Chain A
Amino acid sequence: DIQMTQSSSYLSVSLGGRVTITCKASDHINNWLAWYQQKPGNAPRLLISGATSLETGVPSRFSGSGSGKDYTLSITSLQTEDVATYYCQQYWSTIFTFGSGTKLEIK
Chain B
Amino acid sequence: DVQLQESGPGLVKPSQTVSLTCTVTGISITTGNYRWSWIRQFPGNKLEWIGYIYYSGTITYNPSLTSRTTITRDTSKNQFFLEMNSLTAEDTATYYCARVRRGVFDYWGQGTTLTVSS
- A→B interface (CB under 8 Å): 32, 34, 36, 38, 42-46, 49, 55, 85, 87, 89, 91, 94-98, 100-101
Contact B96 A101 (CB under 8 A): no
A34 and B108 alpha carbons, distance in the complex (Å): 15
Query: Hey, which chain A residues are within 8 Å of B43, CB to CB?
Result: none
Query: Chain B, 12-51, contact with A by CB distance < 8 Å: what is the 0/1 string?
Result: 0000000000000000000000000000000001111100
A46 x B45 contact (CB < 8 A): no
A46 touching B60, Cβ below 8 Å: no
A49, B106: Cα distance in complex, Å: 9
Q: Is the CB of A95 within 8 A of B108?
A: no
Contact A91 B104 (CB under 8 A): yes
A87 to chain B: closest residue by CB: B47
Do B63 and A43 touch across chains, with their CB atoms under 8 A apart? Answer: no
State whether A98 and B104 are in contact (beta carbons under 8 Å apart), knowing that A43-B96, A43-B111 are contacts in the complex: no
Interchain pairs with CB closer than 8 A, number: 50
Q: Is the CB of A97 within 8 A of B108?
A: no
How far is B69's CA from A30's CA once the two chains are assembled, in angstroms?
Answer: 30
Q: Smallest Cβ distance from B1 to chain A, in angstroms?
A: 12
What are 16 A-B interface contacts by the 8 Å CB criterion? A34-B103, A34-B105, A43-B98, A43-B109, A43-B111, A46-B104, A49-B103, A49-B106, A89-B104, A89-B105, A91-B103, A91-B104, A95-B62, A95-B63, A96-B49, A101-B45
